[in-house]
Amino acid sequence: MKEESPKKSAGSSGGGNDASTARERSIRRPSNVRARSRNHSARIIHQPKEDTKGGRTKERILDAALRLFSKSGSNAVSIRAIASEAGISHAGLLRYFTNKNDLIIQAIRRRDMTTDSARSFFAHTGESSSETVIPWLLDSIRNNIENPGIVATFVKLSAEATDANHPAHDYFQKRYGTFTRRLAHGIAELTDSEADKALCLAQEFIAYMDGIQIQWLLDPKNTDMLADARDFLERIGIDVQEIVERYPKRGNSDDER
């Protein structure tokens, strides 16, 4: 008489029994839970001080990003390309930035804060006066002339940021709003213009200089951004030289003679 082979219990694997299967499940499950936990945990972002080794590394990454953005725009540049340009690993870069959007915003902020007058202008909490606005304009233009790559970066990023979904959209919107408002206040103070007229003049100046920047990038030898800016300001009644002489520490009068 044929002996019946024992039936496999439901849920058991071939040749295994319930007890061993349960043990395997209990061993496997915690590792899966740990993997899911790692995937969903927030990364710790390193926020170094400026004068430390970590601070210098972060600045090197931002400068590398700006160089690449000036050539190709931010949309075409990957995090890995920025890391390679900065001489750091992809994982090393991600110690300092939460993602590419965060890096783009911080790179633009670094671009904006390249001079003492720029830091003073954008950090100023109240309305801008001629003591801050005109010197900042002159310093900013001089700095741009010395750094065409930075100008190209700004032109590309500001154009990209007109898309409401671009990571820098809100930053540029706020930046232009702040610049326009403070420039308008400075123009009103220097020309005794009514607020509405001063606002229009500020908008005209910004549009004019944005256009001059593009012309300068295309033909730098035949475009003098500093002279064009001074000419516009003087045509609306602002004595640029008098302001430079009044605030020599900010206006850098040697370059304005």
32-87 tens-digit pLDDT: 444 444 444 456 777 777 678 888 999 999 999 988 887 877 888 999 999 999 99
- CA neighbours closer than 13 Å in the CB half-sphere of residue 87: 5
In the prediction, which pLDDT does 76 show?
Answer: 85
8 Å CB contact between 94 and 103: no
Tell me which of 100 and 252 has the higher pLDDT.
100
Q: Is the pLDDT of residue 94 over 70?
A: yes
Q: Is the pLDDT of residue 9 over 70?
A: no
In the prediction, which pLDDT does 226 show?
Answer: 95
Q: Closest Cα partner for 212 from 227, 197, 192, 191?
A: 227
> Can you tell me the distance from the alpha carbon of 228 to that of 208, in angstroms, rounded to the nearest whole number?
9
Q: Which amino acid makes up residue 48?
A: P
Q: Is the pLDDT of residue 218 over 50?
A: yes
Q: What is the pLDDT confidence band of residue 128, given thresholds at 50, 70 and 90?
A: low
Q: What is the pLDDT confidence band of residue 107, given thresholds at 50, 70 and 90?
A: confident
In the prediction, which pLDDT does 17 show?
Answer: 55
Q: Provide the whole-model pTM.
A: 0.66
227-243 tens-digit pLDDT: 999 999 999 999 998 88
Q: Which amino acid makes up residue 127?
A: E
